Structure 1
Amino acid sequence: MGLIVKGIHLDPRRGYRERCAPREGERSFQLVIEETDLRVTAVDPLPEGFFDVLSARVRALRGDLQAWIVLHPDFRCSLVPVPLPGEGTPPEIVRRMSLAAATAGVGPFAAVAGAIAQMTAETLAPLSPDLIIENGGDIFMYSRRDRVVGLLPDPESGVVIGLRVAASACPLALCASSATIGHSLSFGQGELVLVRSPDGALADALATAFCNRLQGPQDVRRVVEEAKRYTRHGLTGIYAQCRGAVGVWGDMELTAVE
C-alpha cells in the first residue's frame, strides 16, 4: 500500500483556523517567521511589548536549532532518535526534543512544533494568563476558563469533534499527527492521532509515532493500548482515528462542535 497524498489544509492561510474564534477579552493573530507559522490567542488588548517578546522568543528558538544543526546535521533529518553528544551543553529546545524523540522512538524533529509551542507559551504566560499557541495543529495553552478544542471535521456531516479542556488542567499540550491532513511526514494511513500531555515535545513525538503505526482500522485498538504504557512519561490521553475506526482513552471528554 502506497503513502497517502495529503490533500486537506495545505493552503498557506490554514483555513481550519477560521473556525477557531477567540473568546470575549481575547484576540487571535498569525505570526510567520521562516517555516514557523503560529496562531496566537492572547488577552485583548495585548500587553505592551507582547509582540516583540513573542517574535524574539521564536527567533531565538529557531536560532538555537539552526546553530545546533550546523554542527549536528543528523538532528534535522534523522527518523530515529539521535543521542546527544557527551561534551558541551545543548540548547534547551534541543534537549527537550531529543528526550521526547528517545521516549517515542522517532526522529528529533517529530517534536519540534510541540517544543516551540510550549517554550514560546512559557515565555509569554506572565504577560497573558490566557494564552493558546497553535503551531501547525500542535497546541500549548494556559487558560483561566474551560475550553473546547476542535479535532477533526466529519467528512460527510461537517460536524467537528471537540475535546473539552478544563481550566484546571492547564498548562497543557494537545499535539496531532495525520497521514491525510497537513504538511508533516507520516508513514501511516490514519486520519488523526491526538496526544494530550503537559509536555509539548513529548505529545508531538508520540502523536507521530502512533500515527505511523495506523495502517488500517484494525490498528486503532492496538495503538490505544500501547499509548497507556506512556502514562509514566506524561501522556494523559489519546484520540486515534483510521478509516471509520475510532479509539479514545484517558482524560478525553469529547463533544460535537456546531
Structure 2
Amino acid sequence: MDYTERSYREQFRQDDLFHFQVVVNQTDLDIGVRRERFSPDVARWVQEMVCKQRELLEKYIEEDHAFLHSLVPCTLKPGAPQIAVDMADASRLAGVGPMAAVAGAFAQYIGSALARRSRDVIVENGGDIYIRSARQRTIGIFAGRSPLSNRLALSIRPEDTPLGVCTSSGTVGPSLSLGRADAVVILAPSAILADAVATAAGNQVQTKDDVQKAAEFAAGIEGVTGAVVIKDDRLAACGKLKLVPL
C-alpha cells in the first residue's frame, strides 16, 4: 500500500504532537511524539528498530513457512525471536494465525520503546495503534461505506494508556479477513493482542445480525478491554470504552 492511499492519517494526527513517518518495505508507520522529543536521530533510531525486528521476523519465517501462511495458531520452532513469540501467544488467545498480529506487533514494539523517551506517543500502522498519552485523546472510527463511518470516535483517557487500539475490516483495505464487517475495533493493553482479536472477531461477521455476537466474543478474550463492531447501519459495543460523536 502506498502512503498516498492512507488519506485517513490527515484526520488521525494530533495537533500537539510532531508526526513523522518510518517506512521499511510493508511496514509503514505514522508516529506522533511530543515536539521537544523529536529529532532526526530519533527517526533514524526508529528506522533501525524496525529494520532489526523485520530482519529477525523474516529470518524466522524462512525457517518456518507455517508461521507466515497459517490461519490458525501454530507451534513455534526453537529459537524463534521474541516478536514471533508475542505474535504466536496473541494468536493462540484469539484463535487465528500469528500473522494476524503483525501490524499490531510493530506498533507495540516501536511505541513501547518510544514511550521511554516521550510522555506522549502514538504509533499507527495500517489502522493498528499503540497509544500512550498524558491527556485525553479522541480516535475516530472509519468503517468504509457504513453510514456510521467517521460519525463516532473512541474517547481515550490517559489513565487507560498505554493501550492498543486495532481495527480489522472485511470491506476496507488489503488485510485478510474471512468476514464482511465494515469495522471491528478492539482495545487491549497490548496492540499485538488487539490486532489478533480484531481479525478473529471480524471473521465472525457476515451480516449485520452478527455484530453483537462478534463483540461479545472479543470482549470475552482475556486481556481485551473493549470491542466495537460495525456492519452496515448496525453497531455493537462491549467492555470498557466510551464512544463520542465525531
TM (norm. structure 1) is 0.89
Whether the aligned pair in 1 keeps the contact of 2:13 and 2:32 (CA below 8 Å) is no
Shift of the alpha carbon at 1:89?
A: 3.2
- 1:249 matched residue in structure 2: 238
State the distance in 1 between where 2:174 and 2:101 align. 14
Kindly report which structure 2 residues correspond to 1:146-165, keeping only aligned pairs within 5 A, or say none: 146-152=136-142, 159-165=150-156
Mapped partners of 2:11, 2:128: distance in 1: 16
CA distance in 2: counterparts of 1:188 and 1:159, whole angstroms: 21
**Structure 2 residue 166 is the aligned partner of structure 1 residue 175:** yes
1:17 and 2:9 aligned: yes
Among 220, 226, 230, the residue aligned to 2:217: 226
The answer to whether the 8 Å contact 1:237/1:252 transfers is yes
Secondary structure class of the residue paired with 2:90: helix
One-letter code of the match for 2:52?
Answer: A
TM-score, length basis structure 2: 0.93
Please tell me whether the aligned partners of residues 53 and 124 of structure 1 are also in contact (alpha carbons under 8 angstroms).
Answer: no
1:56-86 CA-to-partner distances (Å, cap 9, x unmatched) read: 111111011001011111111111111113x
Cα distance in structure 2, aligned partners of 1:241 and 1:207: 12
Give the 3 Å change call, closer, same or farther, for CA 19–228 of structure 1 in structure 2. closer
Query: Match for residue 133 of structure 1?
Result: 123
Deviations along 1:86-124, one digit per CA (max 9) or x if unpaired, are xx3321100000011111111110000011100111111
> Does the Cα contact within 8 Å between 2:50 and 2:110 map onto a contact in 1?
yes
Partners of 1:158 and 1:80 in 2: CA distance: 30
Deviation (angstroms), 1:45: 3.3
Q: State the Cα deviation string for residues 173-194 of structure 1 (Å, max 9, x = none).
A: 0011001111101111110101
Task: Name which of structure 1's ranges 128-137 and 147-156 shifts more when overlaid on structure 2.
Answer: 147-156
Answer with 147-156 or 14-23: which moved more: 147-156
1:96 corresponds to: 86
Q: Does 1:239 align with 2:231?
A: no
Are the structure 2 counterparts of residues 253 and 65 from structure 1 closer, same or farther at C-alpha, using a change threshold of 3 Å?
same
The offset of 1:197, in angstroms, is 0.2
Given that residues 215 and 238 in structure 2 are in contact (C-alpha distance below 8 angstroms), is that contact kept between their aligned partners in structure 1? yes
Q: Show the 5 A alignment for 1:118-129.
A: 118-129=108-119
Q: 1:218 to 1:198 in 2, by over 3 A?
A: same
Amino acid at match of 1:51: A
- Matched to 2:235, the amino acid is V
Amino acid aligned to 2:239:
G
> Which among 46, 57, 60 is matched to residue 65 of structure 1?
57
Whichever residue aligns with residue 71 of structure 2, its letter is L
Alignment match, 1:75: 67
Deviation at 1:47, TM superposition (A): 4.1
Structure 1 segment 45-56 matched on structure 2, within 5 A? 45-48=36-39, 49-56=41-48
RMSD: 1.7
**Unmatched 5+ stretches in structure 1:** 1-9
- Following superposition, the deviation at residue 21 of structure 1 comes to 3.2
